[in-house]
Structure 1
Amino acid sequence: MLAALRAVVTKEVRQTLRDKRMMALLIAAPVLQLVIFGNAVSFEIDRVPTVVVDHDRSAASRTFVQRLLADRTLELAGEALTADEAARALVTGRAAAAVVIEQDFARRIARGVPHEPATVQVIVDGTNPNKSSVAANAASRFSQVAAREAIGERLARLGASAPRITPAPSLEARVLYNPRLRTPIYMVPGIMAMLLLVVTTIITAMGLARERESGTLEQVLVTPVRPAVLIAGKMLPFAAIGLFDFGLAMAVGAYGFDMPIRGSLVLLSGVTLLYLVATLSAGLLISTISRTQQQAFMGGFLFMLPAALLSGIMTPIHAMPAWLQPLTLVNPLRHYAIAMRAVLLRGAGPEDLLPEILALAAIGGTLAVLAATRFRKTLA
C-alpha cells in the first residue's frame, strides 16, 4: 500500500514539475497577488476632495476652514459661491464633500449665545459610504473641538462672573493589536487565506480533469491501486505545495507588510492543514463532476466566489442580511480567516480557536467523504 501511494505521489510531483504554467500558478502567482492585493486593498481614506462655501467671509470663518483642512483628511478642491454650486461639484465627481458656512458665523462665535449657535453644514456624497462617513466624522470631531475651545475662551473672558460648569468626563481611546490602524495588517491574513483557496482548489480540480482529457486517468485505473490510495496520492503533493505557499506568504507578509506574528506558528500550521483538507476535497469534488479543464475551472470559480464574499474578509459578517449569515458557517474560508487573524494579530491559543478548529474539521471531513464517494462512483 505504501509503495503504491509513493508511486502515485511521485507521478503527481513529476507531472506537476514538468508543467511550467502550473508551477507559475502554484508559486509565482500567490506571491505576486499577495503583494498587489496587500498594497491595493486599503480602507484608509484621507485627502477627501472638499469644496467650501463661505457665506460669512470673515477672519473667523477662514480660520475655521484652515483648521478643518489642516490634518489633510479633507483636502480643498475649490470654492463655491452657493450651496447649489457645491452640490453640482458632488454630482460631477469633482468633490466628495462640501462645507457650507452660514452668514453671521463670526458674530455668533463671538457672542456664544446657546440658542443662536454658529452653523456649519457638511454635505457628503453617499454613493461612497466609506469616504462619506470619514468626511462626516472628521468634520464632526473638529466641530466638537472648536466648540470646546469657544466655550473655554468665553469662560476666560467672563472670569469670576462665569457660571459654574461641571467639567465633562475625559475619554481616552486605546487601540489594541493595531494601534496605527493600518489596513495591510488586517487584510494580509485574509488575502493569504483566499490565495490558498484559489491555488489548492483550482489546481486539484483542473489536474484530474486534465488527466481525464489526456487519457492518462484510464491508464492509472488499470493498475492495482486502490481508490483511497489514488485519492491520497493525488492530494498529498498539492497539500505540500499549499504548505509551501503558506510559508512563502507568511514571509512576504512579515517582511513586506510588517505583519506581526504574535501566536504559535505550530498551531497555525495545524489549522492550515485542516483548511487544506477542506479546499483540496472541494477541488476533488469539483473534478468528479467536470469532464474538461474548462468545466473544472468554471466549477472552481463558482465555488470560490461565494466563499470569498461570505468569508467576512472584505465586509463584516454582522452587516450581512440575517438570512444570509447562517450560510457563512459552512464556509471554510470564514473560519480559517478568523483563525489566521486571531493567531497572528492577537496571539490566540488553541482554546480560543476551538470553534474554528471544530468547524474546519467538520467541513473538511464532510467534503472529503463526499469527494471520495463521488470519485469512486466516477471510477466505477
Structure 2
Amino acid sequence: MHPLLVQYRAVVVKEVRQTMRDKRVLALLTAAPLVQLFVLGFAVNFDVRHVPTAVVDRDRSEESRAHAQSLLAGDTLDLKMEARDERAAEQLLEQGDASVALVFPPDFQKNLLRGESARVQALVDGSDPVRSATAADAVARHAAARAVEHLSAQAQARGEALPRPAVELAPRVLYNPTLSTAVYVVPGIMAMLLLIVTTVTMAMGLARERESGTLEQLQVTPLRPGVLMVGKVTPFILVGLADVGLALAVGTWVFGVPLRGSLWLVAGVTLLYVMSTLGVGLLIATLSRTQQQAFVGGFLFLLPAVLLSGVLTPLRGMPGWLVWLTWLNPVRYYVEVLRGVLLKGAGLGDLWLQVLLLATFGATVLAVAARRFHKTAG
C-alpha cells in the first residue's frame, strides 16, 4: 500500500476512535439531528387553524347568527367569546385573547332583505402577519360566497337566472397538493441541521485539538498536512451522508415528504454540500485559537447562512440588495436542489446552475482552508 494511503488510513482510524470515545460528540453527530428534525418538523408550521375569534352581534337577528355560524363552521376560525361592542372586541385583541373580531351592524338583516349590501367588519390582529392574512382571507372568501348565494336566491325569486361568469378560475396545486408546511420546510431543516453538525463540530474539534496539544504532536510526525486534513474531514463526510439518509427516511415516513427525483443526485449534491460546510468549519478553526472562538465564529456564519437560504422564508420576498448576498451562501443551493429533486422530480439538467455554484463554492473554500491549514500545521 502506498505510504500516503497508510498515513491517510491511520488518521481516519484515529479520528473515528476519538469520536467514538467522546459520547457528547457522537450524540451531536447522530442522535441530535434526528431529535431536532422531529421537533422542528412539527414545531415549524405555517398552517393557520383554530384562530381565536370574538363575535360582536349588534343585530341579533336570524341572518346575523346564521352568517356567524357559517363563518365559524370550518377549522380556520374558532369562537372564543362574544363581546358587547367594538371597544370590548378591541380589548380582547389587545390582551391577546382573540386574534379576529367579527362585528355585525344593527341593520344587517334589514339590508339583506332590502337587497342592499350588508357589511360585516372584521378586526384582525396584524401583529402576526401570517395568521391575520389567513383569517382575513377566510372572511373575504366567505363573504364572496354568501353574496353569490343571496344574488342567486333573489334571481330565482324573480324567475331569472344568474349569468355565468365570463372567466372561471380552476386552481390546481402541483407538487404539494395539500399545501403541507412540513413538505416545504423539512428539506430546509435537513440542510440547516447538516450545516450545524458539520461546520460547528469541525471547527470546535480542531480548535480542541489545538488547545490540548494533540495537533502539535501530529505536526512532529511524518504526516503531510494535506493527508492530515483529508483524513480529519473524511469521517465527518461519512457521518453527514448517513445523517441525510436517516433524515430522508424520517421525512418520508413521518412528514410525508415525497421522493420524486433521483436519490443518487441527492447523494452527490449532499457530498458537495458537506465538503463546502466542512471547508467553512476548517477555515473557522484555522482562524481560531480556542474552542470559544471557534464556536462564536461558527455561530456568526450559521445565523446569516440560514436566514439567507430560503429555508423558512422565500428569497423573492427579500430586498434586491440582500438577494445578491444569497449567491454566496451554499445553503441556498442545497435547499433549492433538495426541494427540486424531492418535491418536483427535477434532474441535473434542471438544477445544473445550483450544482455548479455549490461545487465552485466548495472548491474555493476548501482551497482557502487548506492553505490556512498548511500554514498552521506546517
Report the TM-score, using the length of structure 2 for normalisation.
0.97
Of the three residues 212, 215, 218, the one matched with 1:214 is: 212
Query: For 1:71-91, what per-residue CA distance to the aligned partner results, in whole angstroms no more than 9, with x for missing partners?
Result: 121111111121111111111
Which aligned pairs between 1:63-78 and structure 2 lie closer than 5 A? Answer: 63-78=66-81
Tell me which residue corresponds to 1:79: 82
Tell me how far 1:53 sits from its aligned partner: 1.0
Count, aligned residues: 375
Q: CA RMSD in A?
A: 1.2
Query: What CA distance in whole angstroms lies between the structure 2 residues aligned with 1:120 and 1:26?
Result: 55
Which structure 2 residue ranges, 5 or more long, are not aligned?
A: none
Letter in 1 for 2:41: G
Correspondence for 2:305 among 279, 304, 307: 307
Structure 1: stretches of 5+ with no match in the other structure: none
Letter in 1 for 2:121: Q
Q: Does 1:344 align with 2:342?
A: yes
For residue 323 of structure 1, give the secondary structure of its aligned residue in structure 2.
Answer: helix
C-alpha displacement of 1:111: 1.9
C-alpha displacement of 1:231: 1.0
How far, CA to CA, are the matches of 1:167 and 1:130 in structure 2?
31
Identity %: 55
Q: How many angstroms apart in 1 are the aligned matches of 2:209 and 2:5?
A: 23
Q: Which amino acid letter does the alignment assign opposite residue 75 of structure 2? A: R
Paired residue for 1:159?
159
Cα distance, 1:297 vs. partner?
Answer: 1.3
By how many angstroms is 1:322 displaced? 1.7
SS at match of 1:159: coil
- In 2, Cα distance between the equivalents of 1:152 and 1:108? 16
Deviation string, structure 1 residues 224-279 (Cα, Å, up to 9, x no partner): 22111111111111101111111111111111212111100001100001101100
The structural deviation recorded for 1:4 is 1.2
Instruction: Output one character per residue of 1:1-41: Cα deviation in whole Å (capped at 9) or x when no partner.
Output: 11111111111111111111110110010010001100111
Q: 1:34 matched to which residue of 2?
A: 37
The match for 2:359 is 361
Amino acid across the alignment from 2:139: A
* TM-superposed deviation, 1:379: 2.3
Q: Distance in 1 between matches of 2:54 and 2:217?
A: 71
SS at match of 1:351: helix
Q: CA deviation at 1:166?
A: 5.0
Amino acid at match of 2:199: T
Counterpart pick for 1:53 among 51, 56, 65: 56
Equivalent residue of 2:266, what SS? Answer: helix
User: 1:275 aligns to what?
Assistant: 273
CA distance in 2, matches of 1:238, 1:166: 63
1:169, distance to aligned residue in structure 2 (A):
2.9
Task: State the match for 1:9 in structure 2.
Answer: 12
1:161-240 aligned within 5 A: 165=163, 167-240=165-238
What CA distance in whole angstroms lies between the structure 1 residues aligned with 2:80 and 2:128? 17
TM-score between the two structures when normalised by the length of structure 1: 0.96
Aligned match of 1:21 in 24, 28, 39?
24
1:126 corresponds to which residue? 126
Q: How many Å apart are 1:175 and its aligned residue?
A: 0.6
Q: More displaced, 198-207 or 251-260?
A: 251-260
Query: Is structure 2 residue 102 aligned with structure 1 residue 99?
Result: yes
Shift in Å, 1:167: 3.2
One-letter identity of the residue aligned with 2:54: V
Q: Which moved more, 1:139-148 or 1:52-61?
A: 52-61
